[in-house]
């Protein structure tokens, strides 16, 4: 009977350790997911700003051409 108790105690401790490892992995995955979402948001913002710069550059070049005419 003592052997069974020790066996169950060891299995219980193993499961606790596995659970702790999974919780830690979940936290890491959540942090990576958050970082990825920030990256996507920043890339989208960069694209919008690049489009705006290109538009303003076209307006500027158009204005320069009109002044030269």
pLDDT at site 53: 98
Helix %, strand %, coil % of the chain (to 5): 95, 0, 5
pLDDT value of residue 20:
96
pLDDT digit string, tens, across residues 6-42: 999 999 999 999 999 999 999 999 999 999 999 999 9
- Could you tell me the pLDDT band of residue 46, with boundaries at 50, 70 and 90? very high
Residue 62 binned pLDDT confidence (cut-offs 50, 70, 90) = very high
* Domain segments of the chain as ranges: 31-69
- Predicted confidence at residue 69, as pLDDT, reads 81
């Amino acid at each position: 009977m003592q052997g069974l108790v020790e066996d169950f105690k060891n299995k219980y401790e193993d499961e606790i350790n596995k659970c702790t490892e999974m919780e830690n992995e979940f936290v890491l995955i959540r942090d990576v997911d958050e970082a990825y979402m920030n990256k996507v948001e920043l890339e989208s913002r960069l694209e919008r700003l690049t489009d705006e710069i290109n538009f303003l550059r076209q307006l500027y070049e158009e204005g320069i051409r009109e002044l030269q005419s």
